[in-house]
């Protein structure tokens, strides 16, 4: 259910899912209050908080000047979000200087990320990278299989083969487009336009996803995430409604088929990033929504 001013109101609705009345669908949200909890990694490179979903994980780092983060035999493509800091990304002998306010996709294999001046950097990976998945604060949160989430399958390789691909987030707003969406073979990242002040409570967007999670990463400001569990035929699955208040930085993983909507509540700028893995087909089908669609084809 979207307000008529929300671009997502134009999405084509799927038929009602038959799974909604079945049992065993219910999972708890995964919460990471990075601002109020110790990091999972605290060394000379800086402080890193790690939280996972079913298919993806987030590494939020406050990097020290000169910090270098390497990935050896990386399983698949990953993403690097630089809100302000500048970095040098290296892969297979090539190096690219990356400015702040950007999103970069790094191919599988050996790579490194250097932040000469330090700063905040967020990396997004698939959970196929078990060394990182096992380091997450909620590493035990997925011991019970999520049977209604399909097995992860990467999308087709990029046009022109593997290389470092960096995109500026300095993208002008466009009527009818939702956020600033980019995709790669493993992830879809939507860097939403900043909310200036609290969101209008008369224009909320409660909705649910049948078979995929949504990660909501707060970079700045304050948010309240409203969650409502659908009733299955088994009362053991039922939950009370929840309103999860989170400052920044923080991360919430919303399980399907939980009905959810988020309200920015901070007085100033509120910055939120949504994460999906693999990319969403419905967003990808909307002309002009995925800003790098020419580089990453959809599945046949």
Separation between Cα atoms, residue 290 and residue 180, nearest integer Å = 7
- Mean pLDDT score across all residues of the chain: 93
In CATH, the number for domain 7-284 is 2.60.120.10
Q: Would you give per-residue pLDDT tens digits along the chain (300 residues)?
A: 767 677 787 776 655 444 445 676 678 999 999 999 999 999 999 999 999 999 999 999 999 999 999 999 999 999 999 999 999 999 999 999 999 999 999 999 999 999 999 999 999 999 999 999 999 999 999 998 888 898 899 999 999 999 999 999 999 999 999 999 999 999 999 999 999 999 999 999 999 999 999 999 999 999 999 999 988 888 888 899 999 999 999 999 999 999 999 999 999 999 999 999 999 999 999 999 999 999 999 998
Look at residue 18 in the predicted model and tell me its pLDDT.
45
Look at residue 146 in the predicted model and tell me its pLDDT.
85
Strand partners, 279: none
Structure tokens at 137: 């604060």
């Amino acid at each position: 259910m979207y307000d008529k001013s929300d671009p997502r109101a134009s999405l084509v609705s799927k038929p009602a899912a038959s799974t909604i009345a079945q049992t065993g669908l219910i999972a708890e949200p995964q919460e990471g209050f990075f601002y109020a909890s110790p990091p999972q990694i605290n060394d000379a490179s800086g402080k890193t908080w790690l939280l996972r979903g079913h298919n993806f994980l987030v590494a939020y780092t406050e990097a020290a000047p000169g910090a270098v983060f390497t990935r050896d035999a990386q399983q698949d493509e990953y993403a690097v979000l630089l809100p302000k800091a500048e970095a040098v990304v290296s892969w297979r002998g090539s190096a690219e200087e990356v400015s702040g306010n950007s999103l970069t996709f790094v191919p599988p294999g050996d790579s490194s990320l250097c932040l000469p001046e330090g700063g905040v950097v967020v990396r997004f990976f698939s959970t196929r990278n078990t060394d990182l998945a096992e380091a997450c604060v909620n590493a035990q949160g997925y011991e019970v299989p999520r049977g209604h989430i399909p097995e992860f399958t990467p999308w087709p390789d990029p046009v022109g083969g593997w290389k470092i691909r960096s995109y500026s987030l300095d993208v002008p707003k466009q009527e009818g487009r939702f956020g600033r969406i980019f995709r790669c073979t493993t992830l879809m990242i939507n860097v939403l336009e900043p909310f200036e002040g609290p969101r209008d409570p008369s224009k909320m967007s409660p909705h649910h996803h049948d078979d995929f999670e949504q990660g909501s990463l707060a970079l700045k400001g304050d948010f309240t995430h409203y969650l409502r569990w659908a009733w299955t035929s088994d009362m053991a699955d039922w939950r009370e409604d929840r309103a999860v208040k989170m400052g920044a930085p923080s991360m919430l993983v919303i399980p399907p088929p939980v009905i959810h909507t988020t309200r920015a509540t901070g007085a100033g700028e509120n910055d939120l990033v949504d994460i999906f893995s693999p990319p969403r087909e419905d967003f990808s089908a909307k002309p002009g929504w995925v800003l790098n669609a020419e580089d990453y084809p959809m599945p046949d």
